[in-house]
């Protein structure tokens, strides 16, 4: 008997050893496979340029802080970066001068990532997917821009190296537009822009306006920046963005070439190409004419569809370049040129995704209102009128909308709002919040060419900014966010209270009625009359010019289902 028992014990020990060996082999294989995956997907930084150094100290000169030949200040209410030199030198200065803001941006982005994706496993899977999909990003990025990104990544204190090295993250940050644009509810599908020239303007100059409606981190609005780049041997230019962005979403160069980008959507998809922010940087650094700008856009493959507003202050001409990974069309509109998020040239009109975007998002509604305003002001458009257009909060036909309605040109979501006189080389940049603050004037002849000129006048803030109406809207938005957070936490009664508070503060806000209807329908307590209440709020939602057709159709179906 003892022999039998001993045999069983040995057998169990052998099985345990075998299991441990299997686990060790599988675990080792997974670790090796993961290491191989990281090696395969790693974006390798370029070598340091010959003679380059990361040493140097910041020096303070009153309100200005300098690093070498570059400096930063906030003397006019907006961060200003003046960056000059070789690519690595400019990037390093950018990182050193913007260290605090870059660290805050990292903290915010990672906190939001954890909030929206609380599962560590899900975050790990997303990370692997992004790494694999975008492993070839630098194949189409010029070496000098890679060197500048290297300098930027080395210039600030990185506390998230365990997630991805700073250089790799910097490259991905500069493809943020391309990565997020494919999302169904992309935070970029909301921009409005226009150009007016010659007889359509009061001065005969080329006047351009744009709201960059990026519903991203609020720090991008609060800490927006005007970055003046003087790359050695290339055209100096100004970019309106935020600390850490060396690409361009809105900009004007010293030759009077203006560029801005509006996200679009088409059926065709790109497999490789240059991130759009870096493509527009190429245009501003190299183009001296409208045709040169178009040619540069045509030369480079792109990952996603976009609409580019391009203007030439010297000739007064402006065009919209409608671009997808496989198509490029140039739309010329004479003296008035409106732009939202859908293409108008024939190949784009025939595209199912473009048409779906026009009908199902706010692009069509904003285009209709923008065309009305441009016709109404034709012949009198000035920088001040351009600001009025960018601040318009009515629907097509002058229909009153609730504050923040996404069908409005000014939906109170702009990360930055800009007016440019490309002929006079002047930018007016809204100090915020959104398009409501004072528009601060920047004379590029003075800033980029060093000409001694009188400062142009700023444009005043919107009277809305200090009003009770605006304060009520802010409180309503806070309650909406609280309601969503409470809903995620399973606190349905408290979520309903916050949503009701938002609706009380802003009765014309469709989102408040929609959320309140959804919450009441989810609770559906007959003792509290929830069935009639959610139907009431759904009907109110449909009356308040809701922005998205998907939501409209869902609510209509729920109301019809008795």
pLDDT tens track for 238-288: 999 999 999 999 999 999 999 999 999 999 988 889 999 999 999 999 999
Tokens coding 199 = 């007889």
Place of tokens 């959804």: 518
How, if at all, do strands 64-67 and 59-61 pair?
antiparallel
Give the Cβ contact number of residue 115 at 10 Å.
Answer: 10
Mean of the per-residue pLDDT values for the chain? 92
| CA-derived radius of gyration, the chain | 27
Give the Cβ contact number of residue 229 at 10 Å.
Answer: 27
Q: Where are the beta strands (DSSP E) in 347-448?
A: 416-421, 426-430, 439-443
Query: What distance in Å separates the CA atoms of residue 201 and residue 196, rounded to the nearest whole number?
Result: 6
> pLDDT confidence of 122, banded at 50, 70, 90?
confident
Which residues belong to CATH 1.25.40.10 in the chain? 469-560
DSSP element (H, E) containing 65: strand 64-67
Mean pLDDT, range 357-369, rounded to an integer: 96
Among the ranges given (124-128, 208-212, 335-339, 492-496), the one the predictor scored with the smallest mean pLDDT: 124-128
CB contact at 8 A, 207 and 196: yes
Tokens coding 269 = 């998809």
Place of tokens 């480079």: 300
Q: How many CA atoms lie within 13 A of 261 on its CB side?
A: 29
Tokens coding 541 = 């939602």
Query: What distance in Å separates the CA atoms of residue 334 and residue 195, rounded to the nearest whole number?
Result: 10
Tokens coding 291 = 């045709």
Tokens coding 561 = 């289902």
* pLDDT surpasses 80 at 523: yes
Triad 460, 461, 466: Cα angle to 5°: 140
Nearest of 311, 274, 275 to residue 293 by alpha carbon:
311
Query: What distance in Å separates the CA atoms of residue 163 and residue 159, rounded to the nearest whole number?
Result: 9
State the SS3 of 280-343. HHHHHHHCCCHHHHHHHHHHCCECCCEEEEEEECCCCEEEEEEECCCCEEEEECCCEEEECCCC
* pLDDT surpasses 80 at 13: no
Tokens coding 91 = 């990037």
Query: What distance in Å separates the CA atoms of residue 413 and residue 189, rounded to the nearest whole number?
Result: 11
Mean pLDDT, range 422-442, rounded to an integer: 98
Nearest of 81, 443, 98, 105 to residue 226 by alpha carbon:
81
Place of tokens 């009639």: 532
DSSP per-residue letters across 221-281: HHTEEEEEEEETTS--EEEEEETT--S-SEEEETTSEEEEEEE---S---SS-B-HHHHHH
* pLDDT surpasses 70 at 414: yes
CB contact at 8 A, 560 and 539: no
List, in sequence order, the alpha helices (H) in 424-490. 444-447, 468-488
CATH of domain 469-560: 1.25.40.10
Nearest of 386, 406, 506, 445 to residue 255 by alpha carbon:
445
Mean pLDDT, range 169-182, rounded to an integer: 87
Place of tokens 């140097």: 56
Query: What distance in Å separates the CA atoms of residue 511 and residue 428, rounded to the nearest whole number?
Result: 32
DSSP element (H, E) containing 192: strand 192-196
pLDDT tens track for 292-338: 999 999 999 999 999 999 999 999 999 999 999 999 999 998 899 99
Q: What is the pLDDT of residue 132?
A: 85
CB contact at 8 A, 257 and 297: no
Mean pLDDT, range 69-88, rounded to an integer: 97
Place of tokens 């309100």: 63
Triad 35, 38, 43: Cα angle to 5°: 150
Triad 528, 533, 534: Cα angle to 5°: 120
Mean pLDDT, range 470-496, rounded to an integer: 97
> pLDDT confidence of 183, banded at 50, 70, 90?
low
Among the ranges given (154-163, 275-284, 508-517), the one the predictor scored with the smallest mean pLDDT: 154-163
CATH of domain 192-466: 3.60.60.10
Query: What distance in Å separates the CA atoms of residue 307 and residue 309, rounded to the nearest whole number?
Result: 7
Bridge partners, 207 (sequence order): 196, 421
Mean pLDDT, range 505-509, rounded to an integer: 97
Where b means 16+ CB within 10 Å and e means fewer, 199-223 reads ebbeeebbbbbbbbbbbbbebbbeb
Query: What distance in Å separates the CA atoms of residue 493 and residue 486, rounded to the nearest whole number?
Result: 9
Bridge partners, 192 (sequence order): 211
Query: What distance in Å separates the CA atoms of residue 302 and residue 304, rounded to the nearest whole number?
Result: 6
* pLDDT surpasses 90 at 235: yes
Among 110-119, 186-195, 210-219, 465-474, which range has the highest average pLDDT? 465-474
* pLDDT surpasses 60 at 6: no
Query: What distance in Å separates the CA atoms of residue 194 and residue 356, rounded to the nearest whole number?
Result: 22
CB contact at 8 A, 47 and 32: no
């Amino acid at each position: 008997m003892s022999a039998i028992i001993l045999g069983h014990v040995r057998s169990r020990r052998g099985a345990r050893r075998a299991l441990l060996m299997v686990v060790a082999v599988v675990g080792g294989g997974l670790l090796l496979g993961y290491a191989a995956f990281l090696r395969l997907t790693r974006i390798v930084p370029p070598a340091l340029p010959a003679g380059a150094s990361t040493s140097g100290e910041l020096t303070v000169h009153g309100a200005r802080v300098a690093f070498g030949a570059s400096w930063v200040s906030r003397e006019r209410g907006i961060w200003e970066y003046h960056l000059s030199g070789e690519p690595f030198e400019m990037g390093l200065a950018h990182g050193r001068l913007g260290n605090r803001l870059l660290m805050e941006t990292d903290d915010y982005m990672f906190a939001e990532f954890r909030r929206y994706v609380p599962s560590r496993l899900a975050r790990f899977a997303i990370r692997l997917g992004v790494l694999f999909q975008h492993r070839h990003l630098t194949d189409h990025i010029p070496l000098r821009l890679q060197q500048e990104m290297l300098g930027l990544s080395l210039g600030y204190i990185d506390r998230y190296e365990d997630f991805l090295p700073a250089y790799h993250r910097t490259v991905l940050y500069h493809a943020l537009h391309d990565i997020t644009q494919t999302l169904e509810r992309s935070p970029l599908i909301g921009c409005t822009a226009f150009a007016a020239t010659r007889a359509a303007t009061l001065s005969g100059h080329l006047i351009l306006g744009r709201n960059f409606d990026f519903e991203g981190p609020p720090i991008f609005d609060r800490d927006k920046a005007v970055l003046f780049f003087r790359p050695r041997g290339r055209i100096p230019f100004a970019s309106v963005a935020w600390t850490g962005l060396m690409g361009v979403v809105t900009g004007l160069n010293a030759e009077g070439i203006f560029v801005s980008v509006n996200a679009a959507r088409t059926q065709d998809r790109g497999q490789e190409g240059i991130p759009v922010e870096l493509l527009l940087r190429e245009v501003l650094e190299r183009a001296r004419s409208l045709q040169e700008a178009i040619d540069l856009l045509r030369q480079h493959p792109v990952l996603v569809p976009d609409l580019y507003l391009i203007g030439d202050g010297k000739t007064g001409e402006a065009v919209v370049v409608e671009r997808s990974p496989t198509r490029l069309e140039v739309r010329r509109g004479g003296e008035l040129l409106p732009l939202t998020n859908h293409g108008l040239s024939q190949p784009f009109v025939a595209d199912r995704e473009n048409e779906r975007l026009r009908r199902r998002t706010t692009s069509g509604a904003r285009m209709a209102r923008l065309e009305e305003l441009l016709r109404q002001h034709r012949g009198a458009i000035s920088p001040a009128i351009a600001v009025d257009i960018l601040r318009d909060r009515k629907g097509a036909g002058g229909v009153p909308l609730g504050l923040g309605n996404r069908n409005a040109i000014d939906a109170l979501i702009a990360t930055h709002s800009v007016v440019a006189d490309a002929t006079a080389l002047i930018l007016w940049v809204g100090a915020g919040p959104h398009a409501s603050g004072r528009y601060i004037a920047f004379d590029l002849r003075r800033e980029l060419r060093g000409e001694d000129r009188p400062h142009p006048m700023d444009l005043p803030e919107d009277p809305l900014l200090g009003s009770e109406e605006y304060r009520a809207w802010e409180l309503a938005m806070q309650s909406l966010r609280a309601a969503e957070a409470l809903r995620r936490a399973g606190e349905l009664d408290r979520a309903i209270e916050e949503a009701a508070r938002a609706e009380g503060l802003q009765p014309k806000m469709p989102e408040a009625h929609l959320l309140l209807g959804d919450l009441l329908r989810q609770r559906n307590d007959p003792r509290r009359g929830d069935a009639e209440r959610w139907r009431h709020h759904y009907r109110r939602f449909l009356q308040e010019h809701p922005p998205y057709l998907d939501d409209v159709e869902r609510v209509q179906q729920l109301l019809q289902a008795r």
